[in-house]
Structures are given as C-alpha cells and as structure tokens.
Amino acid sequence: MCKSIKAISRVKSGELSFCENYKSFHLIFNNIFLALNKTELKRLKDYIDTLVIDYLEHK
C-alpha cells in the first residue's frame, strides 16, 4: 500500500500521480488504472506520441 502519493497532474478525465514508497506512477484515465515504473511511463508516452504523429500524417 502506497502511503505517500503526490499528484503530478489532474484533468477532468484522469490523473497522474507518483508513489514515493514504490517509485511508481499511477495513471488513471476514465475507468483505466495503470501502475507504471519510470521506464514503462516513458515507453507509454513514446508510443502515444507515435499514435498522434501517425494520425496527423494520415489525416
């Protein structure tokens, strides 16, 4: 159980927070919850960036 969570960012549909105990990021988006370490969060960001670029290039 994470005892020390700091919110990094909040928007209407979700939140990104950091658990200092486990050094993990918690990403909540609508009804999806992901617990990610720093490497996994970076990979997810990179993947999402490619989706946006692909979408814009094919639009």
pLDDT of 59: 63
d(CA 11, CA 2): 22
- Domain holding 18, by residue range, is 5-58
Question: Closest Cα partner for 25 from 7, 43, 50?
Answer: 7
pLDDT of 33: 96
d(CA 16, CA 27): 5
The model's confidence at residue 49, banded by pLDDT at 50, 70 and 90, is confident
Structure token digits, residue 33? 């919850």
pLDDT tens-digit readout, 21-45:
999 999 999 999 999 999 999 999 9
Task: Give how many domains the chain has, as a whole number.
Answer: 1
Q: Would you say residue 4 has pLDDT above 80?
A: yes
